[in-house]
A and B are shown apart, each in its own frame.
Chain A
Amino acid sequence: MTSSAVPSPPARSSAAQDQDRWLARRRWARVGWLYLFMLVMSLFFIGPFLLGTISSVKDNPNEYPPRLIIPQLTPRYIGTAYDLGVQGGADGWNGGLLPGRSVTFDVSVRSPQDAPQAPPTASLFPYQPQSLVALARQAQARDYATVRTEQTGGAGDVREYRTTVTYPPLTRRQGEVVRATVGPAGPDLTAILPGGERVRVTLDTPEAQQRQFDLSETQAVELVRAGGTYYLRGPIIQRTPLQVDVQRGQSIVESTLPPSDRQNFDRSFAYRNVTPGIFGYTFNNYRRAFNETTNPQTGQSLFLRWVGNSFLYAFLRVVAAIVFCSLAGYALARLDFPGKTLIFLVAVLFVQMVPGQVNLVSNYVLLRDLGLLNLWGLWLQGLVAAGGVFLMKQFFEGMPRELEESAAIDGAGPFTTFWRVMLPQAVPALISLAITQFGGAWNDFFWPVVLLRENTDFTLTVGLSSFRQAYGGQGDYGLILAGAVLSAIPMIIVFAVFQRYFVDTGSDSAVKG
């Protein structure tokens, strides 16, 4: 650029110039290849998890051939799902079908000249979640709603049909509509209002009386309050599974939502839910992970409980590690006492080398006899991690002596020195320690699976592995992948926030030590 201003350098031979240009080109090419390689490797390392995440929203993650374009992730169908949810239950997010509502669903059928010209038959089919624990039977759309199909248009071979799902209310009374859940079984149908009040439900129509024994406890219902009496308007139906069948020779070319399942040589299309809402459509598997693990006795979501257990266990482990590991690490690094080397070799190094399986039987028996086969026993058993002590010892050894000496001159005792002088200096190491312990506890599997016996005590890893046993040992991969993604999220957040510490954790001390 400034070559015209400065005197040009003595002309070099063209061969040398060639060589310079050639070397520069080669340098750039090398960088290009390197980036390509790094990108490919990044994709390789993130790939399985990414693929699992994308597939976790699919209706059927086992779909073959697998597709990367998934209706659940396209804006068009998410929008449709929202609309259908609004139609069915006034809620575009959770969907569902409420009494007094109707939902329309369009299908286009191609029937060529020589094929039958009859309209498709549409019907509701039952859906019963079958998961880990026995679930309370949910009210089925089929028992309450009616389906009507009519032709709305068409051009050429293709005809358009509109299927309307109508759910008439069970009472004709007018009044304030309240939501409630069905109370425990008894001679009369009772419901528990949101405030906790238990009321008698009046069934004033033959249709309502017919349903009296179909409703199981914890079923969500809508009631009409009129003059201090509660009339049953109908159960809140969580999902509306619709099946559309066409004649031989006909085919479905278009529908409001893409089918979840095709059967009978593409003549029978199943739509798992025509009132999904966004959660029921895109995040259906995630919602199932919470809803379908409900404990029938308590009505509590087991999955939520496992998440809570994992957090509690991880939190307890982190706190214990910060207090006890730093104390022990400091003592081993900085205090002088007989048997120090022996304690380090035997209680820190040797302990890390012996596999946990050796202690399995004994610790199991011990905790069983103490009645501690639960989270607290699990925590007690791994109270102070030898690895954490090692980490803190390495860290304290690297700190300057002068700190302690000046503290001693000021008349501070060993505990004050540790607490006031050394520990505040150790914050980076403590963060590293906390992260390792959190990760270790969150991902821990061996001891939880050995010690935790009740499914309400499980941590997330144990609970998740029990998902694989569901559905006849085959595993319900929609549920599994959703659970896997959910359980990985906390670690990913911790990783994103404390990335620097992950990369430093232990590796430096190990290399220098």
Chain B
Amino acid sequence: MFRRGQTATALLFLAPFLITILVFFFYAFARAIYYSFTDYNLFNTPQLIGLKPYLDVLGDSLFRRALANTLVFSIVVTTLQTVGALLMSVALNNKIRGQSFFRSAWYMPSITSSVVMTLIFLWLFQRRGVVNYLITQWLTYQPVILTFLGVMIAAQIVQVLYERSRRLPAKWFDPALAAMSALIALAVTLGLNFLGLVGAREVTPYDFQYFSDSWISLGGVRLLSMPLLVVVIMNTFTTIPGLMLFFLAGLQNIPGSLYEAADIDGATPYQKLMNVTVPMLRPVTFYVVTVSLIGTMQMFDQVAVIGSAAPQETLITLAYYVYTNTFKSGAAPVNMAAAAAIILALIILLMVFIQRRFFVSPEAQ
């Protein structure tokens, strides 16, 4: 139609967007690259000093720890999130009454801010906090709970064998029989408890210090610190619901005929999940993994809020490293912060690129 007029209009429409992006993104980006080759410390005039900031950063043991923490965190959380969100969306995709209620309830953690969540988790994971209390309770009632589970499994086995002897095709996880088994186990456990044969036992309160310098190591290499593990749990908890929605939207696009065909072939729920759902969700999975990688690599809020409550080494991430180096009291090594930021950006771009190159299925492109 009016092609020339359109170019002018388009640029006019795009102007606010492009101007802010140019100033606050591209100019900033270029300046960060420039700073990363200078001796800048926020107050002096930058002088080019070549690759020294990068070498300084790579030689900084705190940076290496931050890099390791970030990579471990990103990989662990992305895996947990993707698998968790997928399973949850499959569970929620059942056509049952009250689906929207459950969807809202499950979505709750992702609308609260990371700061609020971190503060609540700090409280839950205190030395004398709710989590340690629950662990103490579990230890106290372990005999009762294990009795219940043991009786339930035994009852289930007996019932399934009995049904099979009646030539009914009972499966090991048959829900109706499991309900019966649970009732039997409850009755037996209550009875044993009443007779005083099984009961709560005395345990000393469990008071593990989560925000301390303790690590999960493998062959002498410190992999994951306890404080970071708490953040892993929290981050998985808060982001699963959001990602779940993507899978849910994807699930709604899978034609039901595929499942019907699988049913006719006698596929188990597990086989249906692995052979129909997962392959059909590959484009969504790609998107979810990308979003999750970008998000987790930049994890900052939780670390900043926990701050001095945990030893710095255990929690520091690249994003936090950049922040602390920019605002270090005295002459801040801003050039090192810039170099670390560039390295962080390169890692993210590389991850997304690799992901796109090797893991994406043809139909997603």
Name which residue of chain A comes closest to B137, CB basis.
Answer: A65
Report how far A22 CA is from B168 CA in the complex, Å: 9
B348 engages A355 (CB within 8 Å): yes
Nearest-neighbor residue (CB-CB) of B42 within chain A: A365
Interface residues of B (CB under 8 A from A): 1-3, 5-7, 9-11, 13-14, 16-18, 20-21, 23-25, 27-29, 31-32, 35, 42, 88, 91-92, 94, 96, 98, 100, 102-109, 111-117, 119-124, 126, 128-130, 133, 136, 166-168, 174-179, 205, 237, 241, 245-246, 248-250, 253, 283-284, 287, 294, 297-298, 300-301, 304-305, 307-309, 318-319, 322-323, 326, 334, 337-338, 341-342, 344-345, 348-349, 352
Could you tell me if A34 and B304 are in contact, using CB atoms closer than 8 angstroms? no
Contact A362 B31 (CB under 8 A): yes
Q: Is A426 interfacial (CB-CB < 8 Å)?
A: no
Contacts of B31 in A (CB 8 A): 361-362, 365
A354-B337 CB under 8 A given contacts A51-B124, A362-B28, A362-B35: no
Q: Can you name the residue of chain B whose Cβ is closest to the Cβ of A25?
A: B176
Instruction: Answer whether A511 and B246 are a contact pair too, CB < 8 Å, given A328-B16, A343-B18.
Output: yes
- At the interface, yes or no: A176 with Cβ under 8 Å from chain B? no
State the CA gap A477–B108 with chains docked (Å): 22
Instruction: Give the distance to chain B from A181, nearest Cβ to Cβ, in Å.
Output: 33
6 new A-B contacts, CB < 8 A, other than A62-B126, A362-B31, are: A38-B92, A51-B130, A380-B24, A473-B308, A488-B111, A511-B287
Query: Which of A87-95, A140-148, A227-235, A491-499 is near enough to bind chain B?
Result: A491-499
Instruction: State how many angstroms separate the Cβ of B134 from the closest Cβ of chain A.
Output: 9
Bound CA span A483–B305, Å: 14
Q: Which residues of B contact A467 (CB under 8 A)?
A: 119
Q: Does the CB pair B179–A32 fall under 8 Å?
A: yes
Distance (whole angstroms) from the CB of A225 to the closest CB of chain B: 47
Of B7, B16, B29, B246, the residue contacting A358 (CB under 8 A) is: B29
Are B338 and A361 in contact, with the CB atoms below 8 A?
yes
| Interface-located stretch among A195-203, A257-265, A332-340 | A332-340
Chain A residues with Cβ under 8 A from B108's Cβ? 45-46, 49
Task: Decide: A468 near B17, CB < 8 A? Known: A46-B105, A356-B298.
Answer: no
A48 to B238, CA, bound (A): 11
**Is A364's CB within 8 Å of the partner chain B?**
yes
A474-508 interface mask toward B, CB cutoff 8 Å, 1 = contact, 0 = none?
01010011011001100110110001001101011
Number of interface residues of A (CB under 8 A): 107
A37 contacts partner chain B, Cβ-Cβ < 8 Å: yes
Which residues from chain A contact B205 at a C-beta distance below 8 Å? 64
Query: Quick check: A449 and B341 within 8 Å, CB to CB?
Result: no
User: How close is A374's CB to chain B, nearest CB, in angstroms?
Assistant: 16
- Chain A residues with CB under 8 Å of chain B are 15, 18-19, 22, 25-26, 28-35, 37-38, 41-42, 45-46, 48-49, 51-52, 55, 61-62, 64-66, 323-325, 327-328, 330-332, 335-338, 340, 343, 347, 351-366, 380-384, 386, 389, 408, 413-415, 418, 439, 442-443, 445-446, 449-450, 461, 464-465, 467-469, 473, 475, 477, 480-481, 483-484, 487-488, 491-492, 494-495, 499, 502-503, 505, 507-508, 510-511
A473 to B211, CA, bound (A): 13
Say whether B168 contacts A325, CB under 8 Å: no
The residue that A32 contacts in the complex, of B32, B168, B175, B308, with Cβ under 8 A, is B175
By a CB distance below 8 angstroms, the chain A residues around B178 are 29, 33
B348 and A360 contact, CB distance less than 8 A: no
Q: Are A331 and B9 in contact (CB under 8 A)?
A: yes
A selection of 21 A-B contacts at a CB cut-off of 8 Å is A19-B168, A25-B176, A42-B106, A48-B237, A55-B123, A324-B16, A328-B17, A328-B18, A335-B10, A347-B21, A354-B29, A358-B28, A414-B9, A439-B111, A442-B113, A450-B323, A468-B309, A469-B308, A480-B123, A487-B115, A510-B246
Looking at the complex, which one of B96, B113, B322 makes contact with A34 (CB distance below 8 Å)?
B96
Least Cβ–Cβ distance between B240 and chain A, in angstroms? 9
Q: Is the CB of B338 within 8 A of A49?
A: no
B contact residues around A34 at 8 Å (CB): 91, 94, 96
CB of A288, distance to nearest CB on chain B (Å): 16
Are B13 and A331 in contact (CB-based, < 8 A)?
yes
| Docked pose: A18 CA to B168 CA in angstroms | 9
Q: Which A residues are in CB contact (< 8 Å) with B177? A: 29
Across the interface, which residues of A come within 8 angstroms of B308, CB to CB? 469, 473
Residue ID in chain A nearest B134 by CB atoms: A66
A-B CB proximity, top 10 nearest: A443-B113, A29-B176, A362-B28, A359-B28, A29-B175, A331-B13, A328-B17, A42-B105, A362-B31, A335-B10
Residue of A332, A360, A414 near B341 (CB, 8 A) is: A360
Contact partner of A48 (CB less than 8 A), chosen from B105, B124, B133, B319, is B124
Q: Is the CB of A359 within 8 A of B25?
A: yes
Most buried by B among A22, A30, A48, A332: A48
Contact B6 A335 (CB under 8 A): yes
A496 (CB) vs chain B CBs: closest residue: B104
